[in-house]
Amino acid sequence: MTPEIRKRALVDSFAKLDIRAQIKNPVMFLVYLSAIATTLIFFLGLFGIKDAGSAYVAAIAIILWLTVLFGNYAESIAEGRGKAQAAALRSTRKDVKAHRKLPDGTFEEVSSTDLRKGDIVRVVAGEQIPADGDVIAGAASVDESAITGESAPVIRESGGDRSAVTGGTNVLSDQLEIQVSNNPGESFLDKMISMVEGAARKKTPNEIALQIFLIALTLIFIVVCIALYAYSDFVAKQLGMSNPTSITSLVALLVCLAPTTIGALLSSIGIAGMSRLNDANVLAMSGRAIEAAGDVDILMLDKTGTITLGNRQASEFMPAPGVDEKELADAAQLSSLADQTAEGRSIVVLAKHYGIRERQHTENYHFIEFSARTKMSGVDYDGHEIRKGAVDAIAQYLAAKGKSIPEETYHHVDHVARLGGTPLVVVKDYEVMGVVYLKDIVKDGVAAQFSALRTMGIKTIMITGDNPVTAAAIAAEAGVDDFLAEATPEGKLDMIKKFQKAGHLVAMTGDGTNDAPALAQADVAVAMNTGTQAAKEAGNMVDLDSSPTKLIEIVRIGKQLLMTRGALTTFSFANDVAKYFAIIPAMFVGLFPQLGVLNIMGLSSGESAILSAIIYNALIIVALIPLALKGVKYRAVPAAQLLKRNLLVYGLGGVVAPFIAIKIIDLILHFTIGL
């Protein structure tokens, strides 16, 4: 909460006194009307109201206006960060010149606002990408720091799952041809601005349900207060005395009975939850998605990059019969000297453990780069041929010379697969040297994370293109509950539908066009920012960092939102118990002296009791703003245990705290102004 945000929130608090803004929150609208009513009573003194124009009425009116302003301030503070983020994003949005491709293949210079969906533009190094789209030709380094906050440039290229580009980012090298995917005003940046400033935030189903409940309670309390006034008036007439219950006190009772605390903070809790998601560099396309994240009980996670590091590492050399382990290491290292992949470098490093160091390749070495068609790589030198690659590829390579892979080597291959690794067969001059075991390294700590999720009742499912044997081994090591091997778009979609049909809420991540159907079906669908436009359109969240592990953090933020709302609702209702004991005896003790025994706080007078309760009612809103914005601390515990803790801390605490606070305020009023 920077000084700028606090200053803007203060101004917005008064701007929100507009009746059109107040009526959106029915509970606080009641306080708003009560403040107007007591103000009129003070100034006009109409209808023979006995305490009209008194300092007591003025004090009640002022406190009620402050209560409304405090509620406005809570919401404005929550909105403040989003507005600041939106202002920063707007500063990056510029009307730039674009080079649009004409049907004859030439290019014309137009304004970016003239571009329409389907247009093709060319962007060269040093230029800003004018609109969202997909790369259809070329590859380039792109600076996306204005959108993601990440200073390191990324590669965008045609074909594959890294073809989507965002308007407002800058091309640093080479050039791209981009097909525009959105019309003006519908860009990703426009959506970001709209979401982070809260303009497009719609109330979630749970928020709506809670608000309906709060409205129903408020209506009941209005009826109760009217009935109490009518009854006290009837009793007073029977006793031949004037009604000691004033309308001002009745209004104060109504405000204290109504659930104003949670009513004032409900909106800010939801806005703050979205802000926490923005801080995690995740853009939620709807508040419903954040809330659903707190309710999900099935997580579908990609293996590569989420559960495993994604870069396989050489772990062991398994020589063929009659081959020395050092000979295998020598051949594997020779074939990997020019291999700049993580796997290739790890083979070179592992071979050094056998004393094979400081080897320099020269012009006599002709390196064969890996090809998706051949599934092999290698080196030719001094009349020798070394190849390493997938089992089936090496088998075909040997078959051309009438040779085959020994049975013992196949045993090594099966063993590696059962361990969850990738086997690479190495051959030299068409003789099998052995197998390199590439291990898919499971990330540190993921097993503990999955265990915590299991404790919370969340089932984790690993999605992988590996064969079932390999998938089972990695799943066992990582500690996931289930896995989907040899995953296809249809397989993912069918699995999600099956879980949803059984009553589960499913969350998943994806980045490719083939993930779009499953993302569209999932309850919480996180698309990677580096992914295709189709994936981002299908998802209801976009991870600007493109981190597959972000899904776990999103679930935590969603659960924290629900925990915060539940805790503050419990605290709000528990608060009312103390306010009843403060106000009701004070209001009706003149008619029913027996009610004096309920003045267990020993409040000094009736007016002091009512003022103390309504002052507390206003101040508690301010006191709870930090908790509403920061959220209740996340704890990975079962729902029953969490409920028990919330009832103890926020339920019991909500009963005890106001008793103490109201008594302190009463003493201050008694010793300062003599009430």
Q: 68-82, 193-207, 447-461: which range is least confident on average?
A: 193-207
SS3 562: helix
In this structure, are residues 142 and 129 in contact, taking their beta carbons and an 8 Å threshold?
yes
| Gyration radius from the chain CA atoms | 34
Report pLDDT for 200.
45
Mean pLDDT, all residues of the chain: 83
pLDDT higher than threshold 80 for residue 63? yes
Residue 229 pLDDT > 80 = yes
- The reply to whether 581 sits in an annotated binding site is no
Q: What is the mean pLDDT of residues 351-375?
A: 74
From 200-209, 591-600, 624-633, the region with the lowest mean pLDDT: 200-209
The answer to whether the annotation marks 376 as part of a ligand binding site is yes
pLDDT at 268 > cutoff 80 = yes
Return the DSSP state at 304: B
Q: At CA 470, angle to CA 468 and CA 476, rounded to 5?
A: 95
Supply the DSSP symbol for 185: T
Q: What pLDDT is stored for residue 195 in this prediction?
A: 63
Q: Collapsing DSSP states into helix, strand and coil, what is residue 498?
A: helix
From the list 12, 119, 132, 302, the catalytic residue is 302
87 contact partners, CB below 8 Å, separation of at least 6: none
Count Cβ atoms within 10 A of the Cβ of residue 3 and give its class: 0-12 exposed, 13-18 middle, 19 or more buried.
exposed
Q: What is the pLDDT of residue 359?
A: 62
**Once rounded to an integer, what is the mean pLDDT over residues 520-539?**
81
Query: What pLDDT, on a 0 to 100 scale, did the predictor assign at position 470?
Result: 78
Using one digit for the tens of pLDDT, what is the confidence trace for 599-620?
888 888 888 888 999 999 999 9
Indicate the DSSP class of residue 652: I
| Other CB atoms within 10 Å distance of the CB of residue 665 | 22
pLDDT number for residue 77: 87
Is there a contact between 533 and 134 (Cβ–Cβ < 8 Å)? yes
The secondary element (H helix, E strand) that includes residue 107 is strand 107-111
317 CB-contact burial (10 Å; exposed 0-12 / middle 13-18 / buried 19+): buried
Determine which of 81-90, 459-468, 486-495, 546-555 has the lowest per-residue pLDDT on average.
Answer: 81-90
Confirm or deny that 515 is annotated as ligand binding: yes
- 3-class DSSP state for residue 484? strand
Higher pLDDT, 402 or 578: 402
To the nearest 5 percent, what fractions of the chain are helix, strand and coil? 55, 15, 30
For helices 287-295 and 550-588, angle between their N-to-C axes, nearest 10 degrees: 90
Which pLDDT tens digit goes with each residue over 382-392?
Answer: 888 999 988 98
| Residue 343 is assigned to a ligand binding site | yes
Whole-angstrom distance, CA of residue 195 vs CA of residue 674: 51
d(CA 535, CA 546): 12
d(CA 440, CA 419): 9
Q: Is 370 annotated as a binding residue?
A: yes
Token readout for 111 is 């304004």
Q: For a pLDDT cut of 90, what percent of the chain falls above it?
A: 17
Residue 68 — pLDDT band, cuts 50, 70, 90?
very high
Please tell me which residue, 146 or 25, carries the higher pLDDT value. 25
Task: Return d(Cα 335, Cα 628) in angstroms, integer.
Answer: 59
Residue 377 in marked binding region: yes
What's the predicted TM-score (pTM) here? 0.70
pLDDT at 210: 85
φ, ψ of residue 109 to 5 degrees: the values are -90, 125
Q: What is the pLDDT of residue 166?
A: 81
Q: How many CB atoms are closer than 10 A to CB 499?
A: 19
- Per-position b or e across 566-577, b if 16+ CB within 10 A of its CB: bbbbbbbbbbbe
Residue 302 appears among annotated catalytic residues: yes
Higher pLDDT, 22 or 369: 22
Q: How many CB atoms lie within 10 A of CB 85?
A: 18
Q: Measure the CA–CA gap between 132 and 378, rounded to whole angstroms.
A: 41
DSSP 437-482: EEE-PBPTTHHHHHHHHHHTT-EEEEE-SS-HHHHHHHHHHHT-SE
> What does the DSSP assignment read for 73-106?
HHHHHHHHHHHHHHHHHHHH----EEEEEPTTS-
CA gap 461, 481 in Å, rounded: 6
Does residue 79 contact residue 198 with C-beta atoms inside 8 Å?
A: yes
Per-residue pLDDT at 289 exceeds 90: no
pLDDT of residue 49: 52
Query: 269-304 burial, b for 16+ CB within 10 Å, e for fewer?
Result: bbbbbbbbbbebbbbbbbbbbbbbbbbbbbbbbbbb
Helix axes 260-279, 26-44, angle to 10 degrees: 130
* pLDDT value, residue 280: 82
- Model confidence over 460-506: pLDDT tens digits? 998 887 778 878 888 888 888 999 888 888 888 899 999 999 988 89
CA distance 98 to 130: 6
Evaluate if residue 48 carries a pLDDT over 70. no
Top pLDDT among 67 and 595 is at: 67
Say if residues 561 and 592 touch (Cβ distance below 8 Å): no
pLDDT band at 142 (very low <50, low <70, confident <90, very high): confident
Report the range of poorest mean pLDDT among 26-30, 130-134, 304-308, 585-589. Answer: 304-308
Buried b / exposed e across 106-122, counting CB within 10 Å, b at 16+? eeeeeebeebeeebbbb
What CA–CA distance (Å, rounded) separates 312 from 300?
A: 22
pLDDT of 120 reads 92
Is the pLDDT at 548 greater than 70? The verdict is no
Least confident segment among 32-46, 243-257, 633-647: 633-647
- Residue 264, pLDDT > 70, answer yes
375 is in an annotated binding site: yes
Cβ atoms within 10 Å of 458's Cβ, excluding its own: 20
Convert the pLDDT of each residue in 156-185 to its tens digit: 887 666 777 888 788 888 888 999 988 887
pLDDT band at 199 (very low <50, low <70, confident <90, very high): very low
| Residue 615 three-state SS | helix
The segment with the largest mean pLDDT, out of 301-315, 420-434, 638-652, is 420-434
Alpha carbons 72 and 9: distance in angstroms, whole number: 8
**Structural domains of the chain ordered from first start:** 3-84+197-277+555-673 (no CATH), 115-183 (2.70.150.10), 288-307+443-544 (3.40.50.1000), 312-441 (3.40.1110.10)
| 354-363: burial string, b at 16+ Cβ within 10 Å, e else | bebeeeeeee
| Residue 192 pLDDT | 66
Backbone angles phi, psi at 355, to 5 degrees: 85, 10
- Helix, strand or coil, per DSSP, at residue 508: strand
